[in-house]
Amino acid sequence: MRSHDSIQHVRGESKFVDDLVAPEGTLFGYVFYSSIAHGKILKLNFSEALKVDGVIDIFSAKDIPGENQIGGIIPDEELFASKEVHYVGQPIALVIAKDRVTAHKAAKKIKAEYEKLKPVFDPREAFEKGNLIVPPRIFSLGDIDSAWDRCDYVVEGKVESGSQEHLYLETQGALAIPVEEGVKIISSTQGPTAVQKTAARVLDIPMNKIEVDVPRLGGGFGGKEDQATAWAVMAALAAVKLNRPVKIILPRQEDMRMTGKRHPYSSDFKIGLNKEGKILAYEVFYFQNAGAAADLSTAILERTLFHSTNSYFIPNVKATAYCCRTNLPPFTAFRGFGGPQAMFVIESAIHKAAQVMGVNPSFIQKKNLLKEGDEFPYGQKTENCRAIKCYEEAENKFDFDSQFKRVKKFNEENKIYKKGIAVMPICFGISFTTTFLNQASALVHVYTDGSVRVSTAAVEMGQGVNAKLVRIASNIFSIDSERIKIDTTNTSRIANTSPTAASKGTDLNGYATIDACNLILERLKKVAKDVLSADDQSLIELKDEVVYLNNSKTDLDWTKLINHAYVKRISLSAQVHHATPNIYFDREKMKGNAFAYHVYGTALLEATVDCLRGTYVIDSVKVVHDFGKSIHPVTDRGQAEGGIVQGLGWMTLEEIIYNEEGKLISDALSTYKVPDIHFVPKELIIHFLEDVPNPYGPLQSKAIGEPPFMYGIGGYFAIINAMKAYKPDKEIFYNAPITNEKVLMWLHSNN
């Protein structure tokens, strides 16, 4: 079944921030930003800009009543740069005008003078200079130092992975409306409370005077977990100052320039194996390019450490992570949250080791898969581990052996076209690694006509959380899903929301919804007993909107029951809080059961490279994925497919380029290439493995939002394996994205 949202989207009926009917007199904001990567602000001159007809005002750091600070984890980021600028695109001022064209026109007349300082763009250079945002973090297991001696092979290498633009269809934006004693902000954010809290801090008013409402997002992908806040707070500031509604919608190019993206990483690895292909030791150093402010970088880097060994058990591990401050826009959350960067490194290490050993990488991958009870470097042990199960199921279902043989034969018979094949196992931890964020709540109202309205902390961003919440509520009440409406996400109805992120939207809010619905259901059952004059021992059930007494149908139905409850003055509303049990993480020891559970899977990917032109196609991606019991299979399949294609894009086409002055030059869709429908593999097979019980997922489901992204990493290896078939003796590189240019250069240059 399709979700309600998708029908509305196709009809163009869904309303995003910019589609909402704005109140009369709404003004528009345009953000004026730094044109240099690092420097002191010497002079700001607004006088010409203020003369433009239709300009109302211009706000900057000096106009902020509270703190000029938006840093969530570490307070190191100003809303408006006051004295120094740290990246091209950093907001300096907000121009308010009667319409957006005027605001833009006026912003061009602002004159800023800077004293330029030397910028740093490379994370290793930042590290050398001691520009770390936090001290290094280390995860370790076993004893790495004594392990190398026991290895028959020790292989070292360097791995680079690039940034990635979120390219949500709806750009960043917000509408702020002044209300009595405060402000209402309609924001395109994954984190309504982050917006509320930061607005309170900047405006110097308590949180209870700020209402944040989120109808839906035209995509977030992590890009609106933290970085939707600035624009919402700017709009609120102007709205409060001017006592007029203010809207800010970033034009696409400005959005691409000003906002942070996936963190680029530069990493060094050392891997040791015995003759049988068992990995005995793995050492890795991650240099994370954090950009100019912390944003979520430290949490993201932590997840990199959590996923340093992907789906493998390695007895001796040392993983060191450096959070390096540079003069680029603060990089931020993006699907996988640092996990993909780690997985690309371990897969590169395995690939390189396989070259040295003269074996297929899949031989090493399979040998080292996690087993039941194996320990991760952070001390947690696997439970209901599906690593081997997924691998073997994929191996049998997709017949790895004959695929490898077919590709080998193809390569023997073809000179110009070469095929490559790669296996990509994944293991992804489910929970916010920041334990306290693993909480949510739900508020459920049943109205006297039998219709139901559900509010939770979950933000709908296209991932289908609303469709899943509908299914959960209709399942608990056993009523038609048409009766259920999921409300916007609103801080006045649901307080202290964690962002909808970490793939936890359905888990956390789904459980809260289950508990809230059950609370009402229990009350209703009591009412039914009363109405049916049944004794205390009798069994009351609701099935398909009908009340059953001791397994037989009665003529009491859902609507009648609701009305009886109402007349009897029984509450038809419930509010319940849910917190994931049994998780903890000790940041001193770097050990703990950080995750409620893990999601596993294995993909087989095939690519064909045109070795004359350097172009390629990803022919197929075939996956066995651990879904738990899917609540909404169409949505889950969509999440898997979308994630895979987005992962492939990161690894192949999508190249973020900053010039030597730190200016983004891939700042439009003409210069930044993303997967389109023609790029999508012809064969995209997702096999649902639904055999594992999962007490931590509502209705035994498992989180789906992020894990499939990482199958895309296999695309890199499928392509380089095809390249290797063309030049078997040339050393390959691990530097993503593997663009057509890079392929061509490797195939046809002599070094």
- The token pair at 276 is 């049988």
Closest CA to 89 of 332, 314, 292: 292
Of 670-729, which residues contact ligand MTE (CB under 6 A)? 703, 705-706
DSSP class of residue 286 equals E
Per-residue x/- marks for ligand HPA, 225-264, CB under 6 A? x---------------------------------------
With a CB cutoff of 8 Å and minimum separation 6, the contacts of 529 are 535, 536, 538, 540
Output 303 or 598, the one with its CB closest to ligand HPA. Answer: 303
Report the nearest approach of ligand HPA to the CB of residue 338 (Å): 8
**3 state SS for 524-566:** HHHHHHHHCCCCCCCCEEEECCEEEECCEEEEEEHHHHHHHHH
Q: Is 502 in the site for ligand HPA (CB under 6 A)?
A: yes
Report the nearest approach of ligand MTE to the CB of residue 501 (Å): 4
Q: How far is CA 111 from the centre of its chain?
A: 37
Q: Is 503 in the site for ligand MTE (CB under 6 A)?
A: yes
Number of neighbours of residue 392 by Cβ within 10 angstroms:
15
Report the nearest approach of ligand MOS to the CB of residue 638 (Å): 16
d(CA 701, CA 690): 9
Q: Which stretch binds ligand HPA (CB under 6 A): 11-19, 135-143, 431-439, 446-454?
A: 431-439
Q: Tokens 């970033």 sit at which residue? A: 250
Cβ-in-10-Å burial (0-12, 13-18, 19+) of 552 comes to: exposed
Vertex 443: Cα angle to 441 and 448 (nearest 5): 165
3-state helix, strand, coil in the chain (%, to 5): 30, 25, 40
Q: Is 221 in the site for ligand MTE (CB under 6 A)?
A: yes
Q: Is 456 in the site for ligand MTE (CB under 6 A)?
A: no
Going from the C-alpha of 272 to that of each of 268, 425, 561, 676, the distances in angstroms are 14, 20, 67, 40
Of 203-232, which residues contact ligand MOS (CB under 6 A)? 222, 225
Phi and psi angles of residue 243, each rounded to the nearest 5 degrees, phi first: 55, 40
Choose which of 201, 262, 303, 471 interacts with ligand HPA (CB under 6 A): 303
d(CA 15, CA 216): 8
Output 241 or 335, the one with its CB closest to ligand MOS. Answer: 335
DSSP class of residue 456 equals E
Q: Is 261 in the site for ligand MOS (CB under 6 A)?
A: no
Choose which of 201, 216, 318, 335 interacts with ligand MTE (CB under 6 A): 335
Of 468-507, which residues contact ligand MOS (CB under 6 A)? 501-502
Choose which of 59, 334, 337, 511 interacts with ligand HPA (CB under 6 A): 337
Report the nearest approach of ligand MTE to the CB of residue 155 (Å): 33
Q: Tokens 């045109």 sit at which residue? A: 610
Omega into 23 within 30° of 0, i.e. cis?
A: no
Which amino acid, 602?
Answer: T
Partner touching 219 among ligand HPA, ligand MOS, ligand MTE, none, CB below 5 to 8 Å by kind:
ligand MTE
Q: Is 167 in the site for ligand MTE (CB under 6 A)?
A: no
Partner touching 437 among ligand MOS, ligand HPA, ligand MTE, none, CB below 5 to 8 Å by kind:
ligand HPA
d(CA 216, CA 147): 51
Cβ-in-10-Å burial (0-12, 13-18, 19+) of 25 comes to: exposed
Judged by CB under 6 A, the number of residues near ligand HPA is 12
- Is position 165 annotated as part of the catalytic site? no
d(CA 702, CA 694): 7
Partner touching 299 among ligand MOS, ligand HPA, ligand MTE, none, CB below 5 to 8 Å by kind:
ligand HPA
Q: Is 172 in the site for ligand MTE (CB under 6 A)?
A: no
Report the nearest approach of ligand HPA to the CB of residue 503 (Å): 8
Omega into 737 within 30° of 0, i.e. cis?
A: yes
Choose which of 427, 461, 603, 738 interacts with ligand MTE (CB under 6 A): 461
d(CA 205, CA 209): 7
Catalytic position from the list 460, 706, 731, 741: 706
Q: Which stretch binds ligand HPA (CB under 6 A): 91-99, 296-304, 446-454, 692-700?
A: 296-304
Output 195 or 476, the one with its CB closest to ligand HPA. Answer: 195
Output 303 or 418, the one with its CB closest to ligand HPA. Answer: 303
Q: Tokens 């600028």 sit at which residue? A: 85
3-class DSSP assignment, residue 638: helix
Count CA within 13 A, CB hemisphere, residue 349.
30
Output 137 or 335, the one with its CB closest to ligand MTE. Answer: 335
Report the nearest approach of ligand MTE to the CB of residue 357 (Å): 36
Output 638 or 705, the one with its CB closest to ligand HPA. Answer: 705
Choose which of 501, 565, 574, 609 interacts with ligand HPA (CB under 6 A): 501
Output 501 or 561, the one with its CB closest to ligand HPA. Answer: 501
Of 302-341, which residues contact ligand MOS (CB under 6 A)? 333-335, 337
Number of neighbours of residue 358 by Cβ within 10 angstroms:
6
Judged by CB under 6 A, the number of residues near ligand MTE is 21
- Cβ atoms 234, 172 nearer than 8 A: no
3-class DSSP assignment, residue 7: helix
Binding interface with ligand MTE (CB under 6 A): 219-222, 335, 461-463, 465, 500-506, 639, 642, 703, 705-706
Binding interface with ligand MOS (CB under 6 A): 190, 222, 225, 333-335, 337, 501-502
Binding interface with ligand HPA (CB under 6 A): 225, 296, 299, 303, 333, 337, 432-434, 437, 501-502
Catalytic (active-site) positions: 706
